[in-house]
């Protein structure tokens, strides 16, 4: 499935209620799975609760490409990685894999910005985040 270990990974059980009238997982559910995985990344970057951090990552943009429908029962594994780093933003990509299908079922691209929660404006990436990311993605620096 993946060539290298992702910075964060989440296994999500597909629930019967995740499906819609078309008899497959509703499109919004994929985005919820990506959001849950992205929050794991945020917690790793701030090394704790994102609600307590002065500089916090926020989602600025995202898209998703649906490749194959997922149905109950299944488990989806979401791998999230940073693919590009800017002075005030991170570009991430989530790849969603179906364990039943043994294949990629969706790809989501994300732009996350550093945000100062005290001053209520964007910020530069904190050095703490840079150190976490350098340890995982030395090739991006």
Place of tokens 């209520």: 120
Task: Please give the Cα distance from 116 to 136 (Å, whole number).
Answer: 24
How many angstroms separate the first and last alpha carbons of the chain? 26
Residue 85: band (very low, low, confident or very high) from pLDDT cuts 50, 70, 90: very high
Q: At residue 140, does pLDDT exceed 50?
A: yes
The confidence score (pLDDT) of residue 3 equals 60
Q: Higher confidence at residue 38 or residue 49? A: 38
Question: pTM for the full model?
Answer: 0.93
pLDDT band at 49 (very low <50, low <70, confident <90, very high): confident
- How many other CB atoms sit within 10 Å of the CB of residue 97? 20
Q: List domains and CATH numbers for the chain.
A: 8-133 (3.10.129.10)
How do residues 106-132 score in pLDDT, each as one tens digit?
999 999 999 999 999 999 999 999 999
State the helix-helix crossing angle for 27-46 and 127-136, rounded to 10 degrees.
110
pLDDT at 51: 80
Q: Which residues of 67-80 are buried (b: 16+ CB within 10 A; e: fewer)?
A: eeebeeebebbbbb
Name residues whose C-beta falls within 8 Å of residue 36's C-beta, 6 or more positions apart in sequence.
10, 12, 78
2 with 93: CB under 8 angstroms? Answer: no
15-38 pLDDT per residue, tens? 999 999 999 999 999 999 999 999
pLDDT at 1 over 90: no
- In the chain, pLDDT over 90 holds for what percent of residues? 91
Q: What is the pLDDT of residue 48?
A: 81
Mean of per-residue pLDDT scores for the chain: 95
Rounded CA separation 122/63 (Å): 21
Rounded to 10 degrees, the C-alpha dihedral 23/28/34/37 comes to: -90
């Amino acid at each position: 499935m993946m060539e290298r270990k992702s910075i964060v990974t989440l296994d999500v059980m597909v629930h019967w209620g995740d499906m819609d009238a078309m008899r497959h997982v509703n499109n919004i559910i994929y985005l919820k799975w990506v959001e849950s995985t992205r929050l794991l990344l945020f917690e790793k970057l701030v090394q704790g609760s994102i609600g307590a951090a002065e500089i916090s990552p926020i989602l600025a943009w995202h898209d998703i490409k649906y490749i194959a429908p997922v149905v109950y029962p299944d488990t989806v594994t979401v791998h999230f990685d940073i693919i590009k780093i800017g002075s005030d933003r991170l570009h991430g990509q989530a790849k969603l894999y179906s364990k039943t299908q043994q294949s990629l079922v969706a790809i989501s691209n994300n732009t996350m910005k550093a945000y100062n929660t005290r001053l209520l404006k964007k910020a530069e990436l904190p050095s703490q985040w840079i150190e976490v990311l350098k340890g995982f993605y030395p090739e991006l620096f």
